[in-house]
Amino acid sequence: MKFGIVVDEGPYTHQASDTAYQFTKAALEKGHEIFRVFFYHDGVNNGTRLTVPPQDERNIQERWTKLAEEHKLDLVVCIAAAQRRGILDENEAKRQGKDANNIAPGFRISGLGQLIEAGIVADRLVVFGD
């Protein structure tokens, strides 16, 4: 089965990001395909490279980055939601006149068209969060 995943909650706000990660990992281990993981609303906060949790806590951003690297996942951060929350890639930082970017490795910024495509291409679109 081919899944599209939507993450609507931040990494340390609610359980949604952890649950989405565990679901995605388990689906891959069972041989399913993940077409795309789309981070929307506060979920875009999963894609910042500036997250520094205490050493004895899980690093959710790092988990997503490693999973994406291992399985060639497409981790897409919604551009509008990201800009509102100060998350920029190199191109957006330049375009907005900012001197830095903070997108985490393995993540990319794009628009809602990527979410629509995931809903069309995937057999199931699973939403985690509100």
Domain 2-128 class?
A: alpha beta
Q: Report the alpha-carbon angle 48-50-46, nearest 5.
A: 30
Q: Is pTM, for the whole model, over 0.85? A: yes
At 13 the pLDDT is 86
pLDDT in tens, 83-129: 999 999 999 999 999 999 999 999 999 999 999 999 999 999 999 99
Quote the mean pLDDT of the chain: 96
pLDDT at residue 7 tops 90: yes
**Catalytic site includes residue 78:** yes
Catalytic member of 78, 81, 88, 118 = 78
